[in-house]
Structure 1
Amino acid sequence: MDLVGSLYPKALVVMRLTVLLLFVSFIQVRAVTMAHRITIDQGNAPLGSMLKEIRQQSGYDLFHDGNLVSRSPKVMANLSNAPVAQALASYNVLHHELEKTKSENISIQPIEGVVRDSLGRALAGVSVVNRSRGGSTSTDISGRFRLEAEFGDTLVLSSMGYLRQELRLGQQTQLDIVLLAEQAQLEAIVVTALGIKQSVKALTYNVQEFKAEEITRNKDANFVNSLTGKIAGVTINSSSSGIGGATRVVMRGTKSIAGNNNALYVVDGIPIPNTNAGAANGPFEGVVSGEGISSFNPEDIESITALTGPSATALYGNQGANGVLLVNTKKGTSGKIKVSLSHSSDFFSPFVMPRFQNTYGQANPQEYASWGARLPQASNYSPREFFQTGFNVFNSASISGGTERSQTLFSAGANNAEGLIRNNTFNRYNFYLRHNSQLTDRLTADFSAMYVRLDDNNMVAQGQYQNPIVPVYLFPPGDDFRKYRVFSRYDPNRLISTQFWPYQDQGLGMQNPYWISDAQTRVNTIDRYMMSATANYKLSSWLNITGRVRIDNSIAHNETKRPAGTWGLFASEFGYYLTGKTSSKNTYLDLIASAQHQFSDRFSLRANVGASYQDDLVDGLGAGGNLLRLANFYSVEENTDNPATQNYSRTQLQSTFATTQFGYENWLFMDLTGRYEWPSQLPKEFATSSSYFYPSIGVSGVISDKWNISKEAISFAKVRFSYAEVGNPPRFGIANPVFSLVDDSFRPAPFADYRPERTRSYEAGIELRFLQDRLTLNATAYQSNTTNQLLEQPLLGSSIYTVFFYNAGDIRNRGIEASLSHHGKFNQLDWTSGLVFSLNRNRVMRLSDGFINPATSEPYENEQRLVGGLGDFQNVLTVGGTMADFYISQVLREDNQGNLWVNPMDRSIAQVTIPRRYVGSAMPDFNLGWNNQFSYKGVDLSFLIDARVGGIGVSYTQSMMDAFGVSEQSALDRDNGGVMVYGSLYPDVQGYYNTLGLGTSGMAGYYIYSATNVRLREVALGYNLPTAWFDDKGPAIRLSLTGRNLFMFYNKSPFDPESTSSTGTYDQGVDYFRQPSYRSLGFSIRAQF
């Protein structure tokens, strides 16, 4: 007691909150931000009661030596609204003195711990140094470390972006440490438009941020697919073309009738061109390719931020009209050299397929349809045997290191995959270099370079032609499918091998499926080079200037070969050859001046002013056609009948912009943004104005900081409101049309008043945090109206022009996006759970608006507009409907009593044409995603369940299978003696399905299915090997088992409603021999040195 009593005067010097936090050996923060403040007014109270009071007000768990606390004198505290961070930075003085009273004769022992951020997330790569006796290590992927130390040693923990922390060890051997963000990041910071960093607290719009783990846990060749079901307000559809295909990403509904509706991708603050054309080649030949964003290696990505609304994307002007996905790539780290290695292998099988019959065969061997008698024994043929086990293999390596003033990262990655269909391959090789340097105290530089080599082979999304799935699905089970695997036979007359397929093309362009997959090739190869440089100069403590430049060039080669023996619809008797080359050049420049100033304790200002320039050039040349003289001699110069064709386009976008944020007492904020644009698609000769202005305004208030709200109930409360306008200029070549004098099928009339589409958006949101930030609710309600739609109208009555483009129409989107997340710790079990909800109501408010036909001087009065569809399933825009409304016009004929009409002469039935009848919308009513992560002693489990509720789709695949008698239902009806129609049994099953089916010639209304589905989308089980296994000197190793699309909880359609054959706006929900989606199982291993 004498020793402790002698220290009492020293305690009086630093007693305040510092005294209350003495003896703290470490602090665990459960999803708490450092915005907490503490008010205590107690005198001469036991230290234990003080610690309890701190814990109740702040939500911190305070760990201390109970013996010293019980022996300590009473303390005093008189604090009003004091920040916790201030106390944490100063408690060490008395702590250091009291620790000397403990025994110093404790032997060296291993200390283990885990390091987290203030939200409870594990921090990898944190440097841990024993300053007292030497030795160091770093945290592994799960934030864990192991280091030898003894009582009284001081550990120093540091990581870029976080406050350096020193801990004096007590008798604990298990540590749970929280690193606090740097002062500039004390309140969470997020990267927003143009790479501008802002405080989450001050944002006036909704932002959703995701760490790299969300896209590397279950890897996809196109990492965007890994975000499905995780972002509120966003619909993501993967391509049915298979590995590496383009992804459809729509935020807050489709807005443009004729323009693009996909989100913009931005990498490190700079927009990148999307090289995907958007859609398959139509219903008959669904050949597709990848897109620009799929070139990136997911291992090079640090984080992804979703900006779903125009208020968040206003600084991008017309490019950000459909929302933005911000991709932030990794940087090098300071300190010792770090090496990271990763490998993952996934294996695929078909996920959702139609049901087939194997009990009825052909009427005769020459027929392909299966309307014959029951087979003596059931066939063992299954279309699944055509599909192989696909695989997707990732290998990646990176090395980083540097000093505090200069850091470098280099990585290399390889992605090799093969789809379900033979010779459908995807290969991508990435090389990435990034260097950051603090050149002077005022000047910093950031340089990066990336090279990508990508090739894909035989991608098919869906369609009737060049699609091996057509003959596979319609194959008669009475025949032996195996004999067609040898797809060619030697022709002694021609002295070459030609296709073996005795069934001819069946009027569908059908061929031997192995001939399509093995003999014919479609290869796309892309070489992409991307270089960027950023310089930032700090003119003063409140002003800096940033300049950026990026050059993104790619050269794409494509080649199609169809050998002799291919059916005449697709090649001559000698074959077919097509080759092409497309060069894309994208240049981006911007210059931004950024200022921030605190005028007083009440007022603050942040402002950014800048200008940008973007130039996009596409130059393509293609040649080829049917071979003329020599079989299988693939040469353009000597052997094809079509001249070369050239495709050229160039667009420029010049802009100036400014954004200002005013702050009042650090709780009330107002954003003002403006952007002027000069798009080259609007030349002065064909537009009222060649420049347009897009404004936005937003207000947010952190009411929990302004009013005295009980922290026990609500730890954080914020409301926000915003308004924004953005636009979308006409596509290239519309405002200044060029047409051929030879081919006069498309001759647009000139129009002198083109304007960009304009989207006006309102949104209001709220963010609430409960239970010391363990539970967070974020909800946004929005409405947008997109006017000045670019509409195309046939120009009847004109002898010169064929079509006319004009601005009219209004599309409204109204909806709610919300997320609810929870993070809790129960002893050593961590549980993080997140629920996202998206609801959007799309509505066509106006179409032609009575626009005057320039040829007839009469107004257009069409209240309906056919924009897409297939066969009888027509996508029609109607005032009052949605942009995905479908109509039919073919139904079975009925008699006067509403029963099925049967011809009394031959007992046949018939279809009749009726006025268009609405059958539903392909848009969902709402989407849900539930993501969970559990972690316990180095083992973690995560899973994602998502649901799409509402909407319809049509399956022409099922229609054709019924018509050919190979569907399961056609066999069941034959077993039952007929088909139940309108409550009566119709015995002619073949006649019934031949009338209904026949694919695009049939009646789509009988093949419409609900698109509602609920699935287990992702599962991952991981284990972090203890570092003690390697004597604390080996690598940090993580092993994982992964699965994707494991099973459906609910699905009534014969295809996957979430896959798409097109990234375009229309024809969603149409299945016409679509490639099945994938179910995958795999494993991964990751090591860090």
Structure 2
Amino acid sequence: MPNVVTAGSSRWIVRAAILLTWLASPLLGQEAAAARRPAVLNVQTATPPRVTLDLRDAPLRDVLRAIAAQGHVSLVYASDALPLDRRVSLRVTDALARDALRLALRDTGIALRETRDGEFVLVMTDGGRGSAAANPRTARPLASLGGRVTDSVTHDPVVNATVRLDDGAHRTLTDLEGRYHLAGLAPGAHAVTVRRIGYAPTTRAVTLAADSAATLDILLVPVASPLEAVVTTATGPQRRLEIGNAIGTIAADSVVRDAPVTTLADLVAARVPGAQVVLNAGLTGIAPRVRIRGINSLTIGNDPLLVVDGIRVENSSGSIGTYGHTSGRFNDLNPEEIESIEIVKGPSAATLYGTDAANGVILVRTKRGRPGRTRWQLTGETGTITPAAPIPDNYYAWGRSAATGAGQQCVLTELAAGACARDSLTAFNPLRDRATSPLGIGHRDQLGLQGSGGVAQFTYFVAGEYEQETGYLRMPGIDRARIARERGGAAIPDEQLRPNALRRVNLRANAGVALGPRADLDLAMGIVSVASRIPGNGIFQ
């Protein structure tokens, strides 16, 4: 069991430390006797004790007891040599007991000595023997500082921000609520600097009064912080400068926020050199063909591999065949759930992912949770779908024959030869006339909800989306009337009236657990349910 031993005077402790050093080595004993303060004898144990503590403004006496109890170490010191009533803040995680003790005794004039038996002896140095900090009865009144660090835009707490006082002798990190606390500070004017990746460094001036606790809340302004580029490969994350092949990167979350993106193909199109997206007739529910650095073969498929969070998924593209169209699965992923996309090009893709990757690899990383309170995001969209290509009209010229004067249709050759005198012009477009056109106006609706959050050791992300889209193809009015007569007025099924439609439900969730400094556990789940109607060649016969 750990124990704390106190002695009556600091002089006895100094002699004990010198005696232990002399027993260990005559040479060390001679050096210790000649030195101004006792020599240090450090003996590393097989399993050094470690402690994890988070104490705020606690008496030094309680801090020492906590270190001794949790670290299973023995402390030997003189009770009148330490300011046991001094308020100390200590925050360490999996730290060596000796390091925790050094932090607790900082600025007290007390040195730490470790004996061969593993005991820690606390002795007064010459510089601290007459120091007022070592004697609570003559100590100068000290001050403390605390507050909260928050985001200036969202007002959310900023976790793990570094709070530093002046030159950094006093520093700490903010907790999950963005709070910090610094104790044992000298009264007077100080500069407090707060830093966190993703925010601009902020410095505030504060004046501390003796024997008081001051409060200073700080707002951090979010800024873009460029970091060293890291890409994900089959062997794990690597720095971009260490990769010998070409990799294109798309910041999907930023693109979706600023651009009208509805599918995975929209994310890839025209955003990475060498990646080409070939759209298939513009029909609803048909995945386009994706080609990386052109066509590699005339006899086998040219589709790249699609890897989502390290797992290969089915990514067939839509096709046009003798019996109609096929939908494909490339666009099953919801762009709102994607964090980044990396496209591996060239022969090196086959080296990393096998011969099936000769056409390239598209690596998709979905969003992950971040420490902090739960953040919800609701997205929705609605709109109409119309044919994009212009449809020219058909024109007819009418007039009279120059020879007989009879009315007739004047063709261009007769008009040029003067055989027909035009007196009127009519236009008709069967693709714009509601009675004859199979083209109409489609509509699209989408609703999604996302939530993410967690703590330092556990994060989570959940998302769900419902999408419904009806294409612009429809049954012409004259065909509706004809079929209604043939069926005796029976209602025509909706799948015949609107042959092109899509309904998709997308659910995704993942969780990450930090098991230790070298082990993480990630769990991910994705469910996609798709019901689509694609017209065949004989749909309008």
The TM-score normalised by the length of structure 2 is: 0.50
Alignment partner of 1:394 out of 441, 446, 466: 446
Label 1:408 to 1:136 Cα distance change in 2 as closer, same or farther (>3 A).
closer
Does residue 287 (structure 1) correspond to residue 325 (structure 2)? The answer is: yes
- Cα distance in 1 for partners of 2:301, 2:531 equals 26
Residue of structure 1 equivalent to 2:503: 427
Residue of structure 2 equivalent to 1:167: 202
Deviation of the 1:372 alpha carbon: 5.9
Label 1:304 to 1:137 Cα distance change in 2 as closer, same or farther (>3 A).
farther
Label 1:273 to 1:128 Cα distance change in 2 as closer, same or farther (>3 A).
same
Listed one character per residue, the Cα deviations across residues 31-59 of structure 1 (whole Å, up to 9, x for unaligned) are xxxxxxxxxxxxxxxxxxxxxxxxxxxxx
Label 1:153 to 1:400 Cα distance change in 2 as closer, same or farther (>3 A).
farther
- Cα distance in 1 for partners of 2:430, 2:195 equals 60
- Cα distance in 2 for partners of 1:131, 1:453 equals 49
- Letter of the 1:434 counterpart: N
- Letter of the 2:315 counterpart: N
Residue of structure 2 equivalent to 1:321: 358
- Cα distance in 1 for partners of 2:153, 2:262 equals 35
Does residue 383 (structure 1) correspond to residue 431 (structure 2)? The answer is: yes
Label 1:455 to 1:431 Cα distance change in 2 as closer, same or farther (>3 A).
same
- Cα distance in 2 for partners of 1:378, 1:349 equals 26
Residue of structure 2 equivalent to 1:413: 465
Does residue 264 (structure 1) correspond to residue 305 (structure 2)? The answer is: yes
- Cα distance in 1 for partners of 2:284, 2:176 equals 43
Deviation of the 1:311 alpha carbon: 1.6
- Cα distance in 2 for partners of 1:125, 1:267 equals 32
Deviation of the 1:314 alpha carbon: 1.6
Deviation of the 1:164 alpha carbon: 8.7
Residue of structure 2 equivalent to 1:336: 373
Listed one character per residue, the Cα deviations across residues 670-702 of structure 1 (whole Å, up to 9, x for unaligned) are xxxxxxxxxxxxxxxxxxxxxxxxxxxxxxxxx
Asked whether the 8 Å contact 1:221–1:244 carries over to 2, the reply is no
- Letter of the 1:259 counterpart: I
Percentage identity across aligned positions?
23
- Cα distance in 1 for partners of 2:461, 2:151 equals 31
- Letter of the 2:503 counterpart: N
Asked whether the 8 Å contact 1:264–1:322 carries over to 2, the reply is yes
Asked whether the 8 Å contact 1:225–1:238 carries over to 2, the reply is no
Asked whether the 8 Å contact 1:218–1:226 carries over to 2, the reply is no
Residue of structure 2 equivalent to 1:230: 271
Deviation of the 1:302 alpha carbon: 0.6
SS in 1 for 2:359: coil
- Letter of the 1:352 counterpart: A
Asked whether the 8 Å contact 1:266–1:272 carries over to 2, the reply is yes
Asked whether the 8 Å contact 2:393–2:429 carries over to 1, the reply is no
Unaligned 5+ segments in structure 2 are 1-149, 165-173, 179-188, 207-217, 399-407, 412-422, 475-497
Deviation of the 1:350 alpha carbon: 1.8
Label 1:191 to 1:256 Cα distance change in 2 as closer, same or farther (>3 A).
same
Asked whether the 8 Å contact 1:414–1:430 carries over to 2, the reply is yes
1:591-602 alignment runs, 5 A limit: none
Deviation of the 1:358 alpha carbon: 3.9
Residue of structure 2 equivalent to 1:944: none
1:899-938 alignment runs, 5 A limit: none
- Cα distance in 1 for partners of 2:514, 2:162 equals 28
Residue of structure 1 equivalent to 2:138: none
Asked whether the 8 Å contact 2:152–2:219 carries over to 1, the reply is yes
Alignment partner of 2:242 out of 202, 220, 230: 202
Asked whether the 8 Å contact 1:426–1:455 carries over to 2, the reply is yes
Asked whether the 8 Å contact 2:383–2:443 carries over to 1, the reply is yes
Does residue 452 (structure 1) correspond to residue 524 (structure 2)? The answer is: no
Label 1:317 to 1:255 Cα distance change in 2 as closer, same or farther (>3 A).
same
Deviation of the 1:274 alpha carbon: 2.8
Listed one character per residue, the Cα deviations across residues 152-211 of structure 1 (whole Å, up to 9, x for unaligned) are 8968565xxx5898632379x997665657xxxx6321113x262111122211111111
Asked whether the 8 Å contact 1:222–1:244 carries over to 2, the reply is no
- Cα distance in 2 for partners of 1:305, 1:191 equals 8
Listed one character per residue, the Cα deviations across residues 202-221 of structure 1 (whole Å, up to 9, x for unaligned) are 22111111111224544454
Unaligned 5+ segments in structure 1 are 1-109, 116-123, 139-150, 362-370, 469-510, 512-1089
Asked whether the 8 Å contact 1:300–1:330 carries over to 2, the reply is yes
- Cα distance in 1 for partners of 2:307, 2:539 equals 35
Deviation of the 1:244 alpha carbon: 2.4
Listed one character per residue, the Cα deviations across residues 1051-1076 of structure 1 (whole Å, up to 9, x for unaligned) are xxxxxxxxxxxxxxxxxxxxxxxxxx
Deviation of the 1:249 alpha carbon: 0.9
- Letter of the 2:203 counterpart: R
The TM-score normalised by the length of structure 1 is: 0.26
Residue of structure 2 equivalent to 1:893: none
SS in 1 for 2:228: coil
Label 1:329 to 1:177 Cα distance change in 2 as closer, same or farther (>3 A).
closer
Label 1:333 to 1:112 Cα distance change in 2 as closer, same or farther (>3 A).
closer
- Letter of the 1:231 counterpart: V
- Cα distance in 2 for partners of 1:413, 1:329 equals 14
Label 1:356 to 1:206 Cα distance change in 2 as closer, same or farther (>3 A).
same
- Cα distance in 1 for partners of 2:384, 2:348 equals 42
Label 1:111 to 1:452 Cα distance change in 2 as closer, same or farther (>3 A).
closer
Label 1:165 to 1:235 Cα distance change in 2 as closer, same or farther (>3 A).
closer
1:1050-1069 alignment runs, 5 A limit: none
Residue of structure 2 equivalent to 1:352: 389
1:840-855 alignment runs, 5 A limit: none
- Cα distance in 2 for partners of 1:320, 1:221 equals 26
Label 1:238 to 1:126 Cα distance change in 2 as closer, same or farther (>3 A).
farther
Residue of structure 2 equivalent to 1:1080: none
* Structure number with higher strand proportion: 1
Deviation of the 1:405 alpha carbon: 0.8
Deviation of the 1:447 alpha carbon: 0.7
Asked whether the 8 Å contact 1:266–1:325 carries over to 2, the reply is yes
- Cα distance in 2 for partners of 1:211, 1:314 equals 25
- Cα distance in 2 for partners of 1:232, 1:404 equals 38
Label 1:221 to 1:195 Cα distance change in 2 as closer, same or farther (>3 A).
farther
Asked whether the 8 Å contact 1:210–1:304 carries over to 2, the reply is yes
Label 1:345 to 1:228 Cα distance change in 2 as closer, same or farther (>3 A).
same
Asked whether the 8 Å contact 2:200–2:220 carries over to 1, the reply is no
- Letter of the 1:391 counterpart: H
- Letter of the 2:356 counterpart: Q
1:1001-1012 alignment runs, 5 A limit: none
Listed one character per residue, the Cα deviations across residues 964-1012 of structure 1 (whole Å, up to 9, x for unaligned) are xxxxxxxxxxxxxxxxxxxxxxxxxxxxxxxxxxxxxxxxxxxxxxxxx
Alignment partner of 2:251 out of 180, 199, 211: 211
Asked whether the 8 Å contact 1:435–1:447 carries over to 2, the reply is yes
Deviation of the 1:404 alpha carbon: 0.7
- Cα distance in 2 for partners of 1:129, 1:244 equals 46
Structure with the greater relative contact order (CA < 8 A, sep ≥ 6): 1 or 2? Answer: 1
Asked whether the 8 Å contact 2:397–2:424 carries over to 1, the reply is no
Listed one character per residue, the Cα deviations across residues 760-815 of structure 1 (whole Å, up to 9, x for unaligned) are xxxxxxxxxxxxxxxxxxxxxxxxxxxxxxxxxxxxxxxxxxxxxxxxxxxxxxxx
SS in 1 for 2:354: helix
Aligned residues: 314
1:97-176 alignment runs, 5 A limit: 112=152, 158=196, 162=197, 167-169=202-204
- Letter of the 2:524 counterpart: S
Label 1:131 to 1:237 Cα distance change in 2 as closer, same or farther (>3 A).
same
* Structure number with higher helix proportion: 2
- Letter of the 1:308 counterpart: K
